[in-house]
Structure 1
């Protein structure tokens, strides 16, 4: 009974205690520093406040091991270093009223303090008047010695004018926060995004961002450039060439306000102005890229973003979004910057009218752009919100009735109703804007002999041609003719096959697949996915023509094929169809053929290598990893040392088996066999190189490698595979990286430009 009575008694109130200072500071640090990118954002703002014209960022392990920023700003005085990392120490404010006219990034003095509570912080700084730089270390907001037993006072050292701030072992004392972060690659991507956004807005400042230990930077911008130039450099030519610009201010009234003849005195009271750079309707992306700066501060505003997206909702197809850069300068007295710990959000007066003015101006610029938006079979010249006075339209209609005119399809202009309900003009689609992609049109193939059925059937059996035998013939003039068994029919096309992505729980493969998506270039991928194949220009040089909309592109199909087969290898990892070789060739014999051929080239270059030793090392490496190759890649090496099967990456496509000796030779030195991720990546790259079409003799011109079998069945077979198997597979599966755009694609014609040339003639 006593126990029951005691358990039913209500619990008494818990005593209220004052938190320890260290706990208070650590809680506050968690509100400011969420991840490495938020710490870098605070440090970049400090550098910009210091008047820096050059900012260099160095990162290690996504900023967790090392996050360093170096600037050439005004520096920090030595006398200020003792309180530099204490909370609420700032040079931006002295009284509360200063918040009403704030024009700097920072003002609370919590950034360095927060970093010092969750990382090991060090500062090297030098002002123009100092004879040397000073280095100080901080822990929990206070100066700390660099090593136990030393003094905590700042030490003189060598250094340039400006400040270098280094944060090491971020979140070392908050394991929960550390465990909740993403991978280092994703955190580094967030850092690059922050640097990119500030580099766009501060185009007169040079930004460099790189990983520690790497030679080249991932971001490098020059100083004294324009915002458009910065966008072109950081976001690519695809976005830059579709950019439209608009400027607006409180002193400019819209056409609707002028027509209603109303006063707009409220807009004149608090002055504001801004500018925007945004893409036209010809650009589409899977998500909105929205850069918003208010009084030069990088902020977020869901209301502004939704308003801008609503403008594009009537222009872009569903599920596609624009790129928008918006900079607003508002009277500081009308802006409240102290509403979010990380200064990510701000509140300002007349928000509704400013958002409305910005949206209207963007819509008006889009509606009035000269370039029309192109589709696959037609061109839409009316974008949105085309404005035509309703009264003028009514007068025009009455005038036609009086004159007895009737509507005719041949008129140059016809009235249309825009999605917003306003009446607008839609122009006729002219011939120069029509995109001709009819499959019945004559293509380059019509100029070449067509393979007869017997030749097509023989195209599935790859034997070494005379040219290939000359390249890899052994010294005893013996060569084996390899034939894959159970090959697909010659008319097999990837269109009739679906290549599913295999289930793989290896983090290395998941990371490699993720890297493919991150490296994707959206515009080039769109070109490949929506292209129309025109024809092969030069099969030996791997040059082909494709059409996308009104443009004609010349591309190196071998480079595109190599990237395609690499991605197909990742896609089917561990679940390949086997391509059996009958009879199974001995790998030692194949490697010896390749090594002897390459050894002759090495000797010409002055290198003398023992061929037998090289062959033995390569064969040992391959046979030693035979189990892994068979399990993961379906590449079976028998105990007798023969190659029984290869992975089939694409149904209907058989690689040139004359390249097999070169593949086996390259697998020895080119594959990193000691690291899992690098092993899979380098092996798939070599396999993709083996699968890609191309002439092995191109590198040996002038050495008896004149063009052979140019019109024979070998080249006809290769042409057929490229057009009917390779390009359809690219259209379906390839996510093209940016490096292909830089070196393997060339726009050779544009239909509207050709019409202009002919008009002059």
Structure 2
């Protein structure tokens, strides 16, 4: 009979990191979230060979304070919460202190950063697989942070080979995630590009630091789609304590303006991209009252009190538990139907 014994710390770190960073899409999502949390108004996402060769995210945020260099990539070190109760009021994308630590275990991570007081001379930081700082060298840098990932999933060879085999699908998943952040992030310019081999880098999508979400939608999908959607605003005051609303855009209830799949549906809670299956069903059910057998384009942001939902549900933080989901769904369907008639 086998003896029950503790798993060594290095193996635990690799196992847990593989659960936090599931794929290239999750990796790039975590880096973009860090940039937005840092107050960046410009975020450049650069893929090399669709992510197999590496990912670089460059921002003009606040930069990293020298006091945080040592702890930046250590497991469960974060500046965003200090205790469990803080989860009820967290407004940042990150809060667990897991992303950079996990990326260290699964790839080679380099950070180049400078605060406003340090610029134009910053520092290049290299971390080992455990997230410990192994080197620090001066490097020129305007205020902001650059994070470079190479040899992604080198410590999980089966996952790396799986990504290579399904590179088109996996890269597509990453782009869908980036579309979600590009749509909702007003006053931020997000640019995504990919470099294949020795060819010049190709720009895939870009927003223009727009003040309105509708302009972001035009940047990402074109003016034709923007002309086919209408705004909505649902008051959730009767559904949840503390009030709230659902705001966004949906396809006009006209034949041919919907889609054969739900591939253009984006849901957010207080600006956080997430999966809301029951809310998605509410939108689809209302739309099919007017147009059968088609899915609407939906961009919906639920503005809720922070204690009205739980974001600490899944490793990638994309699953959110809404405390009054049934009430929200009912009010949403009732008011959305009225606004579309």
TM exceeding 0.5: yes
Aligned twin of 2:338: 364
Residues 540-579 of structure 1 mapped to structure 2, 5 A cutoff: none
Does the 8 Å contact 1:50/1:74 carry over to 2?
yes
Question: Within 1, Cα distance between the matches of 2:292 and 2:222?
Answer: 22
Alpha-carbon distance change, 184 to 61 in structure 1, aligned in 2, over 3 angstroms: farther
Does the 8 Å contact 2:123/2:139 carry over to 1?
yes
Residue among 306, 310, 326 paired with 1:336: 310
Question: Within 2, Cα distance between the matches of 1:268 and 1:186?
Answer: 39
User: What do the CA deviations read for 1:4-52 (whole angstroms, capped 9, x no partner)?
Assistant: xxxxxxxx3x211111111111111111111111100111111111000
Question: Within 2, Cα distance between the matches of 1:62 and 1:359?
Answer: 40
Question: Within 1, Cα distance between the matches of 2:247 and 2:102?
Answer: 34
Residue among 266, 280, 291 paired with 1:291: 266
Aligned twin of 1:584: none
Question: Within 1, Cα distance between the matches of 2:205 and 2:240?
Answer: 41
Aligned twin of 2:161: 179
Alpha-carbon distance change, 141 to 249 in structure 1, aligned in 2, over 3 angstroms: farther
Alpha-carbon distance change, 116 to 308 in structure 1, aligned in 2, over 3 angstroms: same
Q: Secondary structure at the match of 2:234?
A: strand
User: What do the CA deviations read for 1:434-487 (whole angstroms, capped 9, x no partner)?
Assistant: xxxxxxxxxxxxxxxxxxxxxxxxxxxxxxxxxxxxxxxxxxxxxxxxxxxxxx
Q: Secondary structure at the match of 2:124?
A: strand
- CA shift for structure 1 position 187: 2.6
Does the 8 Å contact 2:114/2:143 carry over to 1?
yes
Aligned twin of 2:209: 223
Does the 8 Å contact 1:295/1:329 carry over to 2?
yes
Does the 8 Å contact 1:294/1:328 carry over to 2?
yes
Residue among 209, 231, 235 paired with 2:192: 209
Name whichever structure is richer in helix by fraction.
Answer: 1
Q: Does 1:22 align with 2:46?
A: no
Aligned twin of 1:303: 278
Aligned twin of 2:145: 163
Question: Within 2, Cα distance between the matches of 1:18 and 1:136?
Answer: 32
Does the 8 Å contact 1:86/1:142 carry over to 2?
yes
Aligned twin of 1:243: 229
Does the 8 Å contact 1:115/1:121 carry over to 2?
yes
Aligned twin of 1:409: none
User: What do the CA deviations read for 1:218-244 (whole angstroms, capped 9, x no partner)?
Assistant: 111101341111112211233211111
User: What do the CA deviations read for 1:521-540 (whole angstroms, capped 9, x no partner)?
Assistant: xxxxxxxxxxxxxxxxxxxx
Q: Does 1:139 align with 2:128?
A: yes
Q: Secondary structure at the match of 2:290?
A: coil
Q: Does 1:275 align with 2:227?
A: no
Q: Does 1:120 align with 2:95?
A: no
Aligned twin of 1:153: 135
- CA shift for structure 1 position 216: 4.1
Q: Secondary structure at the match of 1:157?
A: strand
Question: Within 1, Cα distance between the matches of 2:103 and 2:240?
Answer: 43
Unaligned runs of 5+ in 1: 1-11, 145-151, 252-263, 368-761
**Residues matched between the structures, number:** 333
Aligned twin of 2:89: 101
- CA shift for structure 1 position 268: 6.2
- CA shift for structure 1 position 215: 4.5
User: What do the CA deviations read for 1:224-271 (whole angstroms, capped 9, x no partner)?
Assistant: 3411111122112332111111112233xxxxxxxxxxxx5xx46322
- CA shift for structure 1 position 309: 1.1
Question: Within 1, Cα distance between the matches of 2:96 and 2:296?
Answer: 35
Does the 8 Å contact 2:20/2:102 carry over to 1?
yes
Question: Within 2, Cα distance between the matches of 1:268 and 1:173?
Answer: 46
Q: Secondary structure at the match of 1:154?
A: strand
Q: Does 1:327 align with 2:309?
A: no
User: What do the CA deviations read for 1:382-408 (whole angstroms, capped 9, x no partner)?
Assistant: xxxxxxxxxxxxxxxxxxxxxxxxxxx
Does the 8 Å contact 1:246/1:361 carry over to 2?
no
Does the 8 Å contact 2:313/2:320 carry over to 1?
yes
Question: Within 2, Cα distance between the matches of 1:189 and 1:250?
Answer: 34
4+ residue segments displaced more than 6 Å: none
User: What do the CA deviations read for 1:249-298 (whole angstroms, capped 9, x no partner)?
Assistant: 233xxxxxxxxxxxx5xx46322122020011230212112100002111
- CA shift for structure 1 position 365: 1.9
Does the 8 Å contact 2:56/2:149 carry over to 1?
yes
Residue among 33, 46, 66 paired with 1:58: 46
Alpha-carbon distance change, 310 to 80 in structure 1, aligned in 2, over 3 angstroms: same
Greater Rg, structure 1 or structure 2? Answer: 1
CA RMSD of aligned residues (A): 1.6
> TM-score, normalization: structure 2?
0.93
- CA shift for structure 1 position 82: 1.4
Q: Secondary structure at the match of 2:155?
A: coil
Q: Secondary structure at the match of 1:165?
A: strand
Q: Secondary structure at the match of 2:232?
A: strand
Question: Within 2, Cα distance between the matches of 1:19 and 1:133?
Answer: 39
Q: Secondary structure at the match of 2:28?
A: helix
Residue among 319, 329, 334 paired with 1:355: 329
Does the 8 Å contact 1:204/1:223 carry over to 2?
yes
Does the 8 Å contact 1:61/1:185 carry over to 2?
no
